[in-house]
Structures are given as structure tokens and as C-alpha cells.
Structure 1
Amino acid sequence: MHMILLDKQLNYNGKMIAVAPMMDWTDRHCRFFHRLLAPHARLYTEMVHANAVVLGDRERLLGFDPVEHPVALQLGGSEPALLARAARIGAEWGYDEINLNCGCPSDRVQAGRFGACLMKEPALVADCVAAMAAAVRVPVTVKCRLGVDEEHDYDRFRTFVDTVAAAGCGSFVVHARNAWLQGLSPKENREVPPLRYEWAWRLKSERPDLQVLVNGGIASLEQVQAQLARVDGAMLGRAAYHDPYLLHRLDVALYGGELRERAQLLQALRPYAEARMAEGGALKHIVRHVLGLFHGQPGGRAFRQVLSEGAHRPDAGWALVERALQAATGQRRAA
């Protein structure tokens, strides 16, 4: 278990940037790398079902490095008592926030009666939040959509938020699209329903005591700044993963500090990578998260190719990363 560390201040006039919880992506290796890139961002785990937290391998599911603080555990589920137990366990492991997923639209999630379909049941979500909040001292937050399917009623969205807020949730991450529960894949659900940032902006203006973060389609410093002018935070998802250097540039632009070269940031990962490999971990599980570091740069393709072709080998070590870096920087100099 880890001690709770709350010494990192997320102040851009009191505003926050965050990296979204992303299944199969934001594992502990990814979060460690993102923390190197962005010392001030709030990081989120992949969604973990409450039942897995209670019954599963907690070190595998919940373990993290203390450098990741501030880091939030995102839970899936719809049973208040089970979520309360999982939240308590998460808090005991040292997470700074417990977040309830009310936004995932996948068929598997719907079958378990959690994720985005919970937006149809605000009273149930309120019961879940109340049980979780009673079980922990850290903040309990909710990540949601604007609605589901053809719901386009702002008042219904605000009623959902008000109902859940009254149960003890003071912070909402709003993915500013509807979720389609039938007919769209999870990928299409991130792209097809139109973005309506103005709903989140209106919510913040009408409920100033709530913390409101906006998620969805945010992929540049200008877009982040536009959100921070209206709400409390901006959450990046796939843009931060596919172009991780963007995350570093954002952190420096908003909070100050020295802009470091991509190669410097990669070298800073070496002690962590070698420590995990010494424990029996595989390089491939770590470096898959750095493939986009040279996104849009000369040599970016060569960097990805060297890592992708070699990291799966049982004897792969940091020397492979050095070769990938040489391939990238060599082409950049030539360009």
C-alpha cells in the first residue's frame, strides 16, 4: 500500500489538466510515463469493476508508484454496497480520488448495468455516490456524458448532476457528447455524437460551487485554454496518448518549468523501466506507451518501428530503446 501524498498543487488560476481513464492504455506504466511528462496533471487508472477490486489481485489491479500522485481510481459498477467496499480499498491503497464511471457505452458495460446507461438512473447513481462518500475521506467524483441516445434535454442533464451532487459528489468530468447505447461502437461513440461544450459551460455558470472538467475532442493548447476560461479543468484522452509530448508542452505552458527534449524525457524513464524488468516485467509492456513520443516528427516512424519489432523479444532491454532513439534522432538530424 502507499501513503496518500497531496503536495502537488494543480494551479493554473486554480484550473486542472487531466488524462482520461482509457481501457488497455492508462495502466501503471503509462501513468508513470505521463507523470514524467506532466508533473501537474491529474492521472486516472483504467476503469476497474468494483467486484474485481474486492475479489481480485489487488497488487495487479491497484498497484502504482508514489510518483503518480495525484492519481484517481476509476470504478465501474452499480451496486452501492459493493462500490463502497471497492472505494474503501482504493482509498486504503492511497488513491487521491475515487471516480465512478457513468460514461462508457460498450455492450459489455451495459450488460453489467454500469457505465453510460447509469445516466438513465440518477437516483441509483446518487445511492452509489452516497455509499462511496460515506466509506472514504478522499473525493468521490463522477465521469458522465450529456445524455444517452436521442436525449437532447439540458434540463435532464442538469437534473442528473443535481441529484448526484446532492448525494456528495462535488466534481464532475463531463464528456461533452451523448452516448449511443445501440448502433455505435465505443470508437464511434468517441467521434460521431456531436460535441456540445456549451452544456458543460452552462452547468458551471449555473452551479459555480461544483468542479466541472470537460472531456472530448480536446487536442491542443488553444483548446485547453478555451476550456479553462469557462470551466475548472480540461481532460485529454487519446490526444495525450498518441502524442504524449503534447502533454509535456501543455504542462509547461500552463504551470511553468523547463521544456525538455523528447530524448531527455525518454531517458528519464530508464530507471523505472530497468527496475520493473529486474522484477521480472517485460519491456514491451512499458514501451508500448512511448510509441507516439516522436509523433509528427522526422524519425517518428523509425522510432516506432524499432520498438514495435523488438520489444516483444524475451531478451529485449533498454538497449533497444537506445537504438530506437538513435533511429529517430538520426533521421531528424538528416532532415
Structure 2
Amino acid sequence: MTGPTNPTYDAHADAYAASLRLSVAPMMDWTDEHCREFHRLLAPGARLYTEMVHAKAVIHGDRARLLAKTPHQSPLALQLGGSEPDALAQAARIAADHGFDEINLNCGCPSDRVQAGRFGACLMREPALVADCVAAMAAASEVPVTVKCRLGVDDDDDYGAFARFVDGAVAAGASMIVVHARNAWLNGLSPKENRDIPPLRYDWAHRLKRERPALPIVLNGGIASQALAFKQLAHVDGVMLGRAAYHDPYLLHTIDAALSGAAPRPRADLLRALRPYVEARMAEGVALKHIVRHVLGLFHGQPGGRLYRQVLSEGAHLPGADWAVVEQALTATEASAARHAA
């Protein structure tokens, strides 16, 4: 993958290509602009994704809110939902104008709302429509168009059908495929259950890469340790962390550091590096609680981690809460860790 060709994006091209190795999945209600700011501090080399935004919301909605980002969040992809080629093309043009480095089509979300709108995972059953959507998006701008998909829907168990779906998207102009390596069950499982119950089949993604060595393949699903991430990187071009990056964000940092050869930074240092952003946004009227909810997992599994979450989550909701609450949480955590060590 060579990255964007539009001159607007040339400054990001090297970082965009390198970021293929590690990325953070688009997650509804989680990967907003505040979360991405924190993740960029944790993983300077990773590719970040927005929450899924419907193409029509991009066209008709509050773009200042829906497409909000800071310049250094790049390389950053906008994930679009939808199934109407014309609308997706228009949204792709808007995304390009707003400086996104990639436009990703969601073909994997299993929620009832998504199914009712005929997009997300149900598009796995409509490969010709997906190809039309990708072709329209690719023709609308020079920003790379990619697809995030599942292995199939419900009890689909046909690797050939999965491979043909991918080939159709690539032939239409998709430059990369992100494979969430499980089926999406549209009948009988909730979106939460869809993230755990359908079995993982990494071998399908491995086979796809072996048979299509020139096609960039990123693997998503169940990557919850550094050891597993590096094991999978022996078979595919990149790994995408989902809930693990959110619930245990220091894992994202350690994987990024290992990929770059840098020494991991202490958790407290990483958090304090977020202070200028927090105070700048609070000066604009953003409440502390809306930002720090994304950092509650930073001390996951560490002595004092539970106290850290308690102090920070309770204090951030109080009237007048400011950065001092974060320092209180860090102080309480350090004291608890010292007692544990003693």
C-alpha cells in the first residue's frame, strides 16, 4: 500500500503507510475526538479510526461535530456507514476536504439499527452493491478507500464466498481490507454478543493474505496481548485492536513502542502529556468528564488501578472539576501502589 496520492496528503504518506502495522478499531461511543487524542499520545505510529458516521449524516448533519479532529491525529480514517453509492461518494468528497487520510466502508456492524438501514454486516450478502459503493467512493476523491468486513453472516461457512466478496471490493477500488475474523450473527445475538460468541477464524485472514500477497490485510478481533499481536503480524500486514485498546490502553502503547523500538513511557507521564489538550478543550466549554472517561483503563491490572478509576470517575463528574482531579487520581494510585509494594 503506497498511501494517498493527493498532494494534500503527501505530508502524511509515510506515516500512513507505516501505520498499517497497528491500528485502533472504530468503536461507537468510544473513539471520539477526545479518545483519539489520548490514543495518539499512546501510539504515535498507529492508524486511528473515527466512530462510524452515516454518509447522510456527513452530508446533512453537524460536520463540525461529526468530523472534529486535531491535525496531529493523522493518520486518521473516517469510517462511513451506508449503502447508497451517490451518498457515499458525496461523503467521501467531504471527508477528503476535511483532511482525512482514509475512508473506510463499514461492512461489519451487526446492530439492529444498521440492519434496518441496509448497511453494516448485512452488506456481506450484497457484494455487487458493495462494489458499486466502493467504486463511487474511489471515484469521488483520491483518498484511499478501504473496507472493514466480517467473514460472513449468520451460519455462512464458505471461504470462497468471503474471498469473492473481498475480490469484488478490491476490483472496485478498495486499497486495503480489514478483516474482523468472525461471522456476524444478525439473528439471535446482540451487538455485544457478536463481539465474543462467534468463533474467531484467523486462518481465513491468513489464507486471504497468502493467496493475495499484494493486497494489504489488517486483522481485527480478539487481539488482547502483545504476544498475540506479534504472532498475527507474521501472517498479515497489520493488527487492529478494539476493546483491548480502550479497556487496557497501555497495551496499545507497549505494542506501538515495540514496533518502533522505543522504550515504553510510564503511565503517569503519558497521562500528564494529555493535560494541554484537556485544559484547552475545557476552556472551550467541554466538561472534564467527557474527556477523561477515555483514560479510565490506563492503570488496568496495576496496583491502585481500581482506586484510580474511582477517584477519577467520581471527581470528574463534580461541578468545577478540572485537571486537579486527574492529579488527585494519580496521587491516590501512586500511594496505593507504594503500599502494595511495601
TM norm structure 2 = 0.95
Residue aligned with 2:169, SS: helix
Deviations 1:251-271 (A, max 9, x none): 111112231100000100000
**2:332 matched to 1:331?**
no
Residue aligned with 2:51, SS: coil
Residue aligned with 1:46, SS: strand
Q: Which position in structure 2 is the counterpart of 1:94?
A: 99
Q: What is the distance in 2 between the residues matched to 1:320 and 1:225?
A: 36
Q: What is the distance in 2 between the residues matched to 1:257 and 1:181?
A: 42
Q: Which position in structure 1 is the counterpart of 2:12?
A: 6
Deviations 1:26-64 (A, max 9, x none): 000000000000000000000000010000110100010
State how 1:54-73 maps to structure 2 within 5 Å. Answer: 54-73=59-78
Q: Which position in structure 2 is the counterpart of 1:237?
A: 242
Q: Which position in structure 1 is the counterpart of 2:4?
A: none
Q: What is the distance in 1 between the residues matched to 2:301 and 2:34?
A: 23
For residue 214 of structure 1, what is the amino acid of its counterpart? L
Residue aligned with 1:218, SS: coil
Residue aligned with 2:178, SS: strand
State how 1:179-328 maps to structure 2 within 5 Å. Answer: 179-328=184-333
How many residues are treated as equivalent by the alignment? 332
Residue aligned with 2:239, SS: strand
Q: What is the distance in 2 between the residues matched to 1:9 and 1:316?
A: 36
Residue aligned with 1:81, SS: helix
Q: What is the distance in 2 between the residues matched to 1:298 and 1:235?
A: 28
Q: What is the distance in 1 between the residues matched to 2:203 and 2:263?
A: 34
Contact 1:8–1:40 (Cα < 8 Å) also in 2 = no
Q: What is the distance in 2 between the residues matched to 1:242 and 1:119?
A: 29
TM norm structure 1 = 0.97
- Between the aligned residues of both structures, percent identity stands at 70
For structure 2, the residue ranges without an aligned partner over 5 or more in a row are 1-7
Contact 2:20–2:47 (Cα < 8 Å) also in 1 = no
Query: Which structure carries more helix by proportion?
Result: 2
Q: Post-superposition shift, 1:8?
A: 5.1
Contact 2:275–2:323 (Cα < 8 Å) also in 1 = yes
State how 1:117-128 maps to structure 2 within 5 Å. Answer: 117-128=122-133
Q: What is the distance in 1 between the residues matched to 2:245 and 2:133?
A: 30
Q: Which position in structure 1 is the counterpart of 2:5?
A: none
State how 1:108-187 maps to structure 2 within 5 Å. Answer: 108-187=113-192
The root-mean-square deviation of aligned C-alpha atoms, in Å, is: 1.2
